[in-house]
């Protein structure tokens, strides 16, 4: 099994964290987004969208991070997926929320404050940062309220926790504060403290070393 990814990407780090949590072995193939490696013809043969991650398992070529997480969980007998229909609905709710709302808000700020600096694309657009930071704060308020009385998003530890925590782990680098959201902070500390997430975050740091020099 091969995983084509750029470990710094939150969509890649959530897949790595899930694989580590489930004990799934994979061969990583580094795709340097800053070098536009995802636009190379050989990569586009795997994913015509030119995005990471991509999982190759025998004759299966699977893109989209949520689909990859679901596939890994299914291969492991349903690990990190709740047993009841209601809890599964909670899982799907938060996976969709991350893709539709949290991801875009954080990506906009990350591009302005991190990607532009590392790729020499000019000064951050403060108007974009202001709008997306406000979106992030409102979304975090929603999540903080939802975490009242629960340790994890779907009751027990699930794919949703890894999906959201992988994005929230970028908040300090993006200059986004969680100080107003104590339940969210407590949950994030709990998830990021797992060995699987620690490994994924270490991978992310290693992927950025050549660009931080």
pLDDT of residue 211: 80
Residue 73 φ/ψ region, left for φ over 0, alpha for ψ in the -120 to 50 degree band, beta for the rest: alpha
Average pLDDT over residues 129-144: 98
pLDDT of residue 76: 94
Tell whether the model's pLDDT for residue 213 goes beyond 70.
no
- CB neighbour list of residue 52: distance below 8 Å, 6 or more residues apart: 4, 5, 6, 9, 11, 12, 31, 33, 38
- Residue 57 sits at φ, ψ, to 5 deg, of -130, 100
Domain boundaries, the chain: 2-80+198-212, 85-194
Tell me which residue of 14, 37, 13 sits closest to 206, measured CA to CA.
13
Residue range 161-212, pLDDT digits in tens: 999 999 999 999 999 999 999 999 999 999 999 999 999 999 999 998 888 7
Length of the chain: 213
In whole angstroms, what is the distance from residue 156 CA to residue 87 CA?
Answer: 9
pLDDT of residue 208: 87
**Prediction pTM value:** 0.95
Instruction: Indicate the CATH number for domain 2-80+198-212.
Output: 3.40.30.10
Residue range 1-46, pLDDT digits in tens: 999 999 999 999 999 999 999 999 999 999 999 889 999 999 999 9
pLDDT of residue 209: 84
Tell whether the model's pLDDT for residue 90 goes beyond 70.
yes
pLDDT of residue 72: 98
Name the band, by pLDDT with cuts 50, 70 and 90, for residue 118: confident
The third-level CATH classification (topology) of the domain covering 85-194 is Glutathione S-transferase Yfyf (Class Pi); Chain A, domain 2 (1.20.1050)
């Amino acid at each position: 099994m091969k995983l084509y990814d750029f470990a710094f990407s939150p969509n890649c780090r959530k897949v790595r964290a899930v694989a580590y949590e489930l004990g799934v072995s994979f061969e990583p193939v580094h795709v340097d987004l800053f070098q536009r490696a995802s636009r190379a013809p050989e990569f586009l043969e795997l994913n015509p969208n030119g995005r990471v991650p991509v999982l190759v398992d025998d004759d299966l070529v699977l893109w989209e991070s949520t689909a990859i997480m679901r596939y890994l969980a299914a291969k492991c007998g349903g690990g990190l997926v709740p047993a009841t229909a209601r809890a599964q609905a909670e899982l799907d709710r938060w996976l969709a929320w991350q893709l539709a709302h949290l991801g875009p808000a954080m990506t906009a700020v990350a591009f302005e404050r991190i990607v532009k600096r590392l790729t020499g694309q000019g000064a951050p657009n403060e108007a974009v940062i202001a709008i997306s930071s406000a979106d992030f704060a409102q979304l975090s308020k929603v999540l903080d309220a939802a975490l009242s009385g629960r340790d994890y998003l779907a009751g027990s530890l699930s794919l949703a926790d890894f999906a959201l925590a992988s994005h929230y782990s970028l908040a300090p680098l993006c200059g986004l504060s969680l100080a107003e959201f104590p339940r969210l902070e407590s949950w994030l500390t709990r998830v990021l403290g797992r060995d699987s997430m620690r490994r994924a975050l270490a991978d992310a740091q290693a992927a950025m070393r050549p660009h931080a020099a």
